[in-house]
Structure 1
Amino acid sequence: MASSTLLGHVDDIILTASSSEVLCQIISALQHEFSMKDLGKLHHFLGMKVQHRDGCMFLSQQQYMMETLDRAGMAECKPYSTPVDTNPKVSTDVGQPVQDPTYFRSLAGALQYLTFTRPEIAYVVQLSDTRKSTSGYAVFLGDNLISWSSKQQNIVSRSRAKAEYRVVAIAVAEASWLHQLPSELQSPLHRSTLVYCGNISTVYMSANPVQHQHTKHIEIDLHFVRERIALGDVRVLPIPTSFQYADIFTKGLPSSVFMEFWFSLNVRCTNALDGTWLDKLRAGEAGAPGDDMKAFRYTMFCLLVRQEARGGPWLELRLEVVKDPKF
């Protein structure tokens, strides 16, 4: 059965289909009804630049980043190894209010939009001081990071296990939708979604069918996740901290750990994308493109998407929750 997916924003459209023939038919039908132009292979969309190189796509917002830095008066500032202090001291109760709140909010909004291709700054652009837990997850399709989140939970949790189980349910719901999407494009995923969680209590709760008094506040989340596990759609597994990439969405990390996780999210320095480095990348042997932090300019990064995942497609989640580090 032929299928297609259309993503539209005002007069900008991205269209994909299960075959090139179906794609051409849809474009012809749209052009018959509307005044529109086929711009060919995707190369720009809503300020994002798409580059196609040797079986990979590189998504970047270089021009948008340069304009944001210039608007903030920071175009000539030197880069820093991590975007957030590992011991944050920012508080809503300390310091003088900004003179122009509208200007400040516009810059904060610009940074949030930048997280579409710079996921490693998702935590710092929404940092605040409350007792609510910060939850984060990363969804990979094969080697490709396709969805991520870093946000504070709506309510204060009395235990880390409860806070983490809430984000398990949210992430499993996201993965369930993403798992279905390739099937609509005639490329179904045949493996269970792997959910890696750093809290061992949460892993046990997902496998234990017995309800306890301490879990009654998250009973709906428990039933939802266990149902997906019973259907074979999801497996919840423990993961050591050294491989928990989702930590980058929930707290400030030391430079060495930050850079390792940053690279695991497939964020790359664009001026390091030469042929030799790409060959190593496809073979899984590429390391970080140099240790000189001057090379890692904020205006020179992109998000890598491999068009063919190594070892076939599969869906994988990594998630983490932390309490506000100041409490």
Structure 2
Amino acid sequence: MSSSSSSSLLATWHAHGARPFARKLTERLRAEFALKDLGSLHYFLGIEVVRRTDGFFLHQRKYAHELLDSAGMLNCEPAATRVDTKSKLFATDGSLATDTSSYRSIVGALQYLTLTRPELQYAIQQVCLHMHAPRDPHWATVKRILRYIRGTMDFGLSLHASTATDIVAYSDAHWAGCPDTRHSMSGNCVYFGPSLISWSSKQQPTVSRSSAEAEYRAVANAVAEVSWLRQLLVDLSCPVAKAIVVYCDNISAVYLSANPVALGHIRVLHVPTSQ
């Protein structure tokens, strides 16, 4: 569970009308600890909060500006896309980078930007795979990500106020996506009502022998995530009444995911790739 998941969930839950509970919780905490009410949230750990009539908008424009400035790319030419989808990053392509410490520092800083920029998750995860021995092509990919950020400084995450408490997840996998290890990639995103609250893109720890196996592993990760979220909402006195739906585009993985124990709580359904 990423920090982006829990922070976004709490903000969304607050937008769903949890103010009375928040006031009661604050009063109980004040009875035990010395607290200072700082008022409405506007800025927290590099995340800026803009209140709207329909919810919140979270962004990291200031953080992105500082990141580009430290990388010496504040005035770079913006890029329209994050990565070149037609090529893959190999571990041994090109020459070893001369400044590995800067690579690790910038890539590490980029990871924090994914708290409000889920569309960067996959691209940044790819360059993270080469932190131990970055090469020139890896540096070029990092610079392309920074150029994309330069042109999308105002992007962020919208959390919508809604009475809906249903949880819907989407899962996918890229079989043997890593050109070096042939490990597959797993990806998922989770919606709480109309708001995106959790997202993930990571390499699977073992080699999958088929696309169905890779997709099943991805579904298992998504189910673990939504199960955690369901229990968190119960602890927050906001139980989920409906069954959680996890969508997958692989029919074999859907059949493999049939589990009588989870019947009534989690349903894995098929969704066509074209949708």
TM-score, with structure 1 as normaliser = 0.59
Secondary structure in structure 2 of the residue aligned to 1:139: strand
Partner Cα distance (2:230, 2:203) in 1: 25
Partner of residue 174 from structure 1, selected from 207, 220, 225: 225
Aligned equivalents of 1:71, 1:180: Cα separation in 2: 41
Check the 8 A contact 1:192/1:233 in 2, yes or no.
yes
Deviation at 1:23, TM superposition (A): 3.5
Cα distance in structure 2, aligned partners of 1:134 and 1:196: 17
Paired residue for 1:204?
255
CA distance change for structure 1 residues 87 and 34 in 2, over 3 Å: closer, same or farther? same
- Which residue of structure 2 lines up, in the alignment, with residue 151 of structure 1? 202
Quick one: structure 1 residues 29 and 140, their matched pair in 2 at CA, closer, same or farther if it must change by over 3 Å?
A: closer
- Aligned alpha-carbon RMSD (Å): 2.7
Distance 1:106 1:90, change over 3 A: same
CA contact (8 A) 1:206 1:226 kept: no
- State the 1:112 CA deviation: 1.0
Q: Which has the higher contact order (CA 8 A, sep 6+)?
A: 1
Report the alpha carbon displacement of residue 77 of structure 1 after superposing the two structures with TM: 1.9
Secondary structure at the aligned position of 1:195 is classed as strand
The alpha-carbon deviation at position 237 of structure 1 amounts to 1.0
Structure 1: distance between partners of 2:30 and 2:241: 36
Q: Give 1:27's aligned residue.
A: 26
Identity %: 48
Q: 1:161 to 1:93 in 2, by over 3 A?
A: same
Q: Does 1:238 align with 2:270?
A: yes
Task: State the one-letter code of the partner of 2:248.
Answer: C
TM-superposed CA distance for 1:24, in Å, is: 3.6
| C-alpha distance in structure 1 between counterparts of 2:21 and 2:192, whole Å | 24
2:261 pairs with 209, 220, 227, which one?
Answer: 227
> CA-to-partner distance for each residue in 1:124-155, whole Å, 9 max, x for gaps?
11215431101000001121111110000011
In structure 2, how many angstroms separate the alpha carbons of the residues matched to 1:48 and 1:194? 30
Q: Is the alpha carbon distance of 1:201 and 1:121 closer, same or farther for their aligned partners in structure 2, counting shifts above 3 Å?
A: same
Q: Matched residue of 2:274: which SS? A: helix
Deviations 1:160-188 (A, max 9, x none): 11111112112111101212333333332
Matched, 1:138 2:137: no
**2:32 and 2:214 mapped to 1: Cα distance?**
50
- Who is 2:243 aligned against? 192
Instruction: Classify the secondary structure of the residue corresponding to 1:242.
Output: coil
What is the rounded CA distance, in whole Å, between the counterparts of 2:195 and 2:211 in structure 1?
A: 29
- Aligned equivalents of 2:84, 2:66: Cα separation in 1: 25
Q: TM-score, normalised by structure 2?
A: 0.70
* 1:6-53 alpha-carbon deviations (Å, 9 max, x no partner): x89xxxxx997x965553454345445545421122222211111111
Q: Contact 1:195–1:237 (CA<8 Å) still a contact in 2? A: yes
- 3-state SS of 2:257 partner: helix
**Match for residue 234 of structure 2?**
183
Give the distance between the partners of 2:80 and 2:238, measured in 1 at CA.
Answer: 39
- Amino acid of the structure 2 residue aligned with 1:47: G
For 1:1-327, list aligned pairs within 5 A: 20=19, 23-31=22-30, 34-127=33-126, 128=129, 129-130=179-180, 131-207=182-258, 225-228=259-262, 230=263, 232-243=264-275
2:84 and 2:111 mapped to 1: Cα distance? Answer: 18
Q: Distance in 1 between matches of 2:76 and 2:113?
A: 18
Superposed CA deviations along residues 38-79 of structure 1, whole A, max 9, x for unmatched, are 112222221111111112100111100011111111111232
Do the aligned partners of residues 20 and 113 (structure 1) sit closer, same or farther apart at CA in structure 2, a change above 3 Å counting? closer
